[in-house]
């Protein structure tokens, strides 16, 4: 084996180092043991570079022969270390962006060093070309660390619309394949007329286009997420406002009852002295009914109590009995808006599903309690008509086509707290179990 030739091949494959970084950096918060993963990646890249460089050096074949196998293995390794909450399409998007960066660096290096490469008739490029590609990859990785990596990390953490990711990843993947196809087979062609300048400008402008596209995706997703969050907070405020008005009405009613209580005592005293026991019992029953009209407190936490009171009233008006067991403290270890958004969407789906059943089959059960100081458990159970809409294992809304906003909101909140959502369907009973790590 020629040591110099081995080194040149190794330098060509060394682009995998910045490629691995660009794949893993946005996933830092979604990796299994991040530090260990980066160490494993560095070791595996070194082994792949050494093995492929050795085989290419012995067989004297271009490094492109190993391109497809390396991509398949690298993608599988990335999926292996990614957390279960990261979808295949999200991984494919990050992988495609990294592939674009490496393809740009390789193509620019081949164009910029074309004059030196015209005298190279070997299957491997010159060491200077590989060094230029590595230098470009380091510069691009540095720029992307403070821009695209941060944008991608935010998208992974905050935006979970599967349709968005399904439509996002093919564009950079196709562009990366196009750049690889544009690699010049004969370096001398690049030196004809102004082809070198045109090639450098074209690749640079297209790279800027990908960069701007990623920024636009980030900006649009951030604005959509912000508007969605504001809508949810407005809904919660509306529920709390309604609950406040109801409480004011109850307070006014209680004040009136207290004011009239003295008159009731006179009546009770008169009936007792007269020995009218039956009349006294009837009068007390009427008075007791008046006192029992007020709705009881369902939860110690005011915000959750307001939400539960709203859906309890709504369900009762629709003839749906609700069994509440909300054992939550007055102060929660998480923002009330997050919990109310999650619980509200679960309750809305449960009430909607119950309306499709005959009145005697309707039933909703709601349980929520702190399983530990750092874990919150929620169970919402309801009977339903047995009809579920699923696509690729993902529940979809039965109100309209596609995955409902409420379902996306539930998954977003669960993933925000690195929790777990499981759905059980048995004997026409739908049960959503949620665990949140606080």
Q: Over the stretch 103-123, which tens digit does the pLDDT of each residue have?
A: 999 999 999 999 888 888 888
| pLDDT at site 401 | 45
Number of other residues whose CB lies within 10 A of the CB of residue 416 = 15
Task: Look at residues 353, 344, 381 and name the one whose alpha carbon lies nearest to residue 365.
Answer: 381
**Strand, coil or helix: 119:** coil
- Tell me which H or E stretch contains 137: helix 127-145
Bridge-based pairing state of the strands 322-327 and 364-372? parallel
Question: Could you tell me the pLDDT band of residue 291, with boundaries at 50, 70 and 90?
Answer: low
| pLDDT at site 260 | 66
Range with the largest mean pLDDT of 111-115, 364-368, 424-428: 364-368
d(CA 365, CA 362): 10
| pLDDT at site 392 | 45
Number of other residues whose CB lies within 10 A of the CB of residue 103 = 24
Tokens of 289: 């009914």
DSSP conformational letter for 424: E
C-beta separation of 383 from 362 below 8 A: yes
Q: What is the pLDDT of residues 245-256, one digit of tens each?
A: 765 665 666 666
Average of pLDDT values for 293-320?
A: 82
Higher-pLDDT residue of 205, 278: 205
Answer whether residue 372 shows pLDDT above 80: yes
C-beta separation of 76 from 55 below 8 A: no
Residue 427 phi, psi (nearest 5): 55, 45
Tokens of 293: 């009209």
Average of pLDDT values for 25-54?
A: 91
Phi-psi region of 33 (alpha: psi -120 to 50; beta: other; left: phi over 0): left
Bridge-based pairing state of the strands 420-426 and 364-372? unpaired
What are the structural domain ranges in the chain?
Answer: 3-233, 297-438
C-beta separation of 408 from 160 below 8 A: yes
Residue with tokens 């087979």: 185
| pLDDT at site 86 | 86
| pLDDT at site 400 | 43
Answer whether residue 403 shows pLDDT above 50: no
d(CA 203, CA 216): 20
Average of pLDDT values for 201-230?
A: 83
Question: Could you tell me the pLDDT band of residue 72, with boundaries at 50, 70 and 90?
Answer: very high
Answer whether residue 271 shows pLDDT above 80: no
Range with the largest mean pLDDT of 29-33, 138-142, 298-302: 138-142
C-beta separation of 376 from 438 below 8 A: yes
Q: How far apart are the first and last CA of the chain?
A: 57
Domain 297-438 falls under CATH 3.30.565.10 = yes
Range with the largest mean pLDDT of 150-154, 186-190, 374-378: 374-378
Provide the β-strand partners of residue 390: 395
Residue with tokens 């460089």: 53
Higher-pLDDT residue of 138, 120: 138
| pLDDT at site 44 | 93
Answer whether residue 88 shows pLDDT above 70: yes
Task: Look at residues 180, 181, 199, 178 and name the one whose alpha carbon lies nearest to residue 189.
Answer: 199
Q: Which of 84-88, 193-197, 212-216, 403-407 has the lowest mean pLDDT?
A: 403-407
Answer whether residue 428 shows pLDDT above 60: yes
**Strand, coil or helix: 422:** strand
Residue 327 phi, psi (nearest 5): -95, 70
Residue 201 phi, psi (nearest 5): -65, -45
Question: Could you tell me the pLDDT band of residue 18, with boundaries at 50, 70 and 90?
Answer: very high
Task: Name the average pLDDT for the chain.
Answer: 83
Answer whether residue 42 shows pLDDT above 90: yes
């Amino acid at each position: 084996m020629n040591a110099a030739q081995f080194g040149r091949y190794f330098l060509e494959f060394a682009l995998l180092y910045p490629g691995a970084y660009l794949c893993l950096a946005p996933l830092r918060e979604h990796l299994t043991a991040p530090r260990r993963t980066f160490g494993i990646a560095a070791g595996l890249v070194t082994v792949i570079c050494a093995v492929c460089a050795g085989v290419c050096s012995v067989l004297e074949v271009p490094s492109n022969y190993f391109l497809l196998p390396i991509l398949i293995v690298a993608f599988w390794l990335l999926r292996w270390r990614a957390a279960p909450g990261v979808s295949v399409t999200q991984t494919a998007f990050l992988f495609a962006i990294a592939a674009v960066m490496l393809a740009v660096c390789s193509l620019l290096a081949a164009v910029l060093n074309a004059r030196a490469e015209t005298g190279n008739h070997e299957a491997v490029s010159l060491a200077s070309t590989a060094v230029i590609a590595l230098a470009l990859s380091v510069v691009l990785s540095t720029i992307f660390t403070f821009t695209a990596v941060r944008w991608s990390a935010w998208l992974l953490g905050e935006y979970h619309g599967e349709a968005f990711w399904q439509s996002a990843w093919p564009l950079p993947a196709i562009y990366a394949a196009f750049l690889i196809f544009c690699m010049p087979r004969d370096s001398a062609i690049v030196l004809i007329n102004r082809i070198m300048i045109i090639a450098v400008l074209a690749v640079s402008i297209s790279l800027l286009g990908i960069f701007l596209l990623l920024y636009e995706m980030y900006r649009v997703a951030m604005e959509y997420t912000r508007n969605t969050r504001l809508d949810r907070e407005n809904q919660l405020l509306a529920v709390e406002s309604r609950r406040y008005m109801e409480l004011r009405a109850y307070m006014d009613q209680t004040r009136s009852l207290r004011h009239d209580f003295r008159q009731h005592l006179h009546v009770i005293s008169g009936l007792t002295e007269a020995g009218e026991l039956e009349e006294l019992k009837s009068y007390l029953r009427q008075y007791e009914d008046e006192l029992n009209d007020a709705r009881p407190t369902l939860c110690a936490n005011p915000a959750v109590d307001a939400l539960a009171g709203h859906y309890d009233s709504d369900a009762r008006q629709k003839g749906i009995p609700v069994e509440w067991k909300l054992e939550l403290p007055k102060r929660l270890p998480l923002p009330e808006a997050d919990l109310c958004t999650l619980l509200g969407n679960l309750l809305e789906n449960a009430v909607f599903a119950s309306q499709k059943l005959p009145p005697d089959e309707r039933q909703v059960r709601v349980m929520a309690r702190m399983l530990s100081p750092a874990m919150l458990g929620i169970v919402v159970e309801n009977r339903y008509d047995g009809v579920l809409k699923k696509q690729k294992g993902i529940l979809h809304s039965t109100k309209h086509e596609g995955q409902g906003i409420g379902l996306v909101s539930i998954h977003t909140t669960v993933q925000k707290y690195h929790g777990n959502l499981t759905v059980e369907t048995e004997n026409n009973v739908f049960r959503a179990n949620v665990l949140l790590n606080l």
